[in-house]
């Protein structure tokens, strides 16, 4: 079983090193026969290959069982014609990773300002208000005159249907509630269609309760009473913003795992960015990337019907909970351990789980 490992930019290499330690530990502990194949993307690849990602790398990923992508400095990548391609977009679009699954939950051992909660944001990943991925050729942002820009948002029936189904399938395994987040009061046609499709898909899941909130009000609701929510389904940009909020509400942006999944491929990738403000200092929280690796193993376990992979995935989640309870955490969540020390603490805990 092969996983391609791309450390990325900023805090990517250090958080990925901690993640690799955890993956190597579960590999031995659960006899997974994991092969980690290290390669490069982002700034390092731009320097070496003239492009942040390459077609050869994509082929390699297609032939592997999964991908771990470190955070990328996407804001630096302005011009695709110069090889400055957004690696997240590249893999999400090329591998049709339409579902971005971003759980956020509070941990015992960490102070929480908004009460305990456990929810998942299910975000559409391949269209919406993202100019680099919603038209076939070029970008959907146009400079009409030096002072006028138009950005287009694409919403399709297919993408609404499949993201809705992902959300309802997940809700069936949890507390059986799906919340649709939209802006249908203004984007009446596109988000009207999104709601209609989510509700129609919901008809196939009669035991699941459905409600919906307008995205701006949702920010208040989720801060006020996050425990009201179980699975939240939404379009690309709303989900990107909302999931950073829910992650921070759980304690830190460095805490929440994130999986990008399609029908054939999956990619574990932290919800946060490359955090240049703290890069290279061994203070970044590696838990988001480590939990993302756990989610990737869980996805592979479901695909391959492998109980060892499913156990390894659960073990990573439990070990993470345990080290948080013991206060073995980075400073963003009130601790004093470094990035590598947190990786080692999770790895050590995994020996006894
Ligand atoms: P960011 O997510 O990198 O950082 C936001 C804040 O959270 C910063 O204060 C940072 O120090 C903190 N933070 C993030 N991850 C942390 C961690 N693991 N532990 C502790 N603190 C953490 O967002 P940004 O600063 O707006 O963006 C930096 C770069 O990352 C930009 O180039 C942006 O385009 C890119 N980005 C990439 C991704 C991705 O690769 N998926 C996602 C978001 C942003």
pLDDT in tens, 325-353: 999 999 999 999 999 999 999 999 999 98
* More confident call, 130 vs 48: 48
pLDDT in tens, 259-271: 999 999 999 999 9
Question: What secondary structure letter does DSSP report for 143?
Answer: E
Question: What secondary structure letter does DSSP report for 291?
Answer: H
Q: What is the pLDDT of residue 137?
A: 83
Residue percentage of the chain with pLDDT more than 90: 96
Tokens at residue 90, please?
A: 């590249």
Q: What is the pLDDT of residue 296?
A: 98
pLDDT for residue 285 is more than 90: yes
The mean per-residue pLDDT over the stretch 1-6 comes to 97
Which are the contacts of 105, defined by CB distance < 8 A and separation ≥ 6?
A: 117, 118, 119, 250
Could you give the domains of the chain? 1-96+288-353 (no CATH), 113-250 (3.40.718.10)
Split at pLDDT 50, 70, 90, the class of 134 is confident
Residue 272 CA, closest ligand 1 atom number: 2
Return the closest-CA partner of residue 30 out of 19, 18, 22. Answer: 22
Q: What is the pLDDT of residue 132?
A: 85
Q: What is the pLDDT of residue 43?
A: 98
Residue 15 CA, closest ligand 1 atom number: 18
Evaluate whether 123 touches 117 at the Cβ level (below 8 Å).
Answer: no
Q: Is 66 in the pocket of ligand 1 (CB under 6 A)?
A: no
Q: What is the pLDDT of residue 238?
A: 98
Q: Which residue has the tokens 């992979």?
A: 309
Q: Is 52 in the pocket of ligand 1 (CB under 6 A)?
A: no
Q: What angle do CA 249, 253, 255 make, to 5 degrees?
A: 90
Burial of 127 (0-12, 13-18, 19+ CB in 10 A): buried
Q: Is 45 in the pocket of ligand 1 (CB under 6 A)?
A: no
Q: What is the pLDDT of residue 131?
A: 87
Secondary structure (DSSP) of 203-242: TT-TT-EEEEEEHHHHHHHHHH-GGG-SEEEE-HHHHHHH
């Amino acid at each position: 079983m092969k996983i391609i490992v791309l450390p990325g930019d900023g805090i990517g290499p250090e958080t990925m090193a901690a993640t690799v330690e955890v993956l190597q530990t579960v590999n031995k502990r659960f006899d997974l026969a994991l092969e980690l194949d290290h390669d490069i993307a982002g700034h390092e690849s731009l320097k070496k290959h003239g492009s942040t990602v390459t077609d050869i790398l994509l082929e390699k990923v297609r032939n592997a069982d999964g991908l771990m992508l470190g955070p990328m400095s996407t804001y630096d990548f302005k011009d695709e014609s110069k090889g400055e391609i957004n690696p997240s977009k590249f893999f999400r679009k090329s591998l049709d990773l339409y579902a971005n699954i971003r759980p956020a939950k509070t941990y015992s051992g960490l102070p929480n300002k908004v009460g305990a909660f456990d929810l998942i944001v299910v975000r559409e990943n391949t269209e919406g208000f993202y100019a680099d991925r919603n038209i076939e050729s070029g970008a959907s942002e146009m400079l009409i005159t030096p002072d006028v820009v138009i950005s287009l948002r694409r919403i399709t029936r297919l993408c609404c249907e499949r993201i809705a189904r992902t959300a309802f399938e997940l809700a069936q395994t949890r507390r059986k509630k799906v919340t649709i987040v939209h802006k249908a009061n203004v984007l009446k046609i596109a988000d009207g269609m999104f709601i209609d499709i989510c509700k129609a898909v919901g008809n196939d899941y009669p035991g699941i309760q459905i409600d919906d909130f307008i995205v701006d009000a949702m920010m208040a609701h989720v801060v006020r009473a996050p425990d009201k929510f179980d699975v939240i389904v939404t379009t690309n940009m709303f989900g990107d913003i909302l999931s950073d909020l829910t992650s921070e509400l759980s304690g830190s942006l460095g805490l929440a795992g994130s999986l990008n999944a399609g029908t054939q491929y999956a990619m574990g990738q932290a919800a946060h960015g490359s955090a240049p403000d703290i890069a290279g200092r061994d203070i970044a929280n590696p838990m988001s990337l480590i939990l993302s690796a756990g989610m990737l193993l869980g996805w592979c376990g479901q695909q391959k019907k492998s109980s060892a992979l499913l156990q390894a995935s659960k073990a990573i989640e439990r070990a993470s909970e345990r080290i948080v309870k013991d206060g073995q955490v980075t400073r963003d969540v009130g601790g004093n351990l470094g990035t590598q020390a947190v990786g080692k603490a999770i790895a050590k805990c995994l020996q006894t789980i």
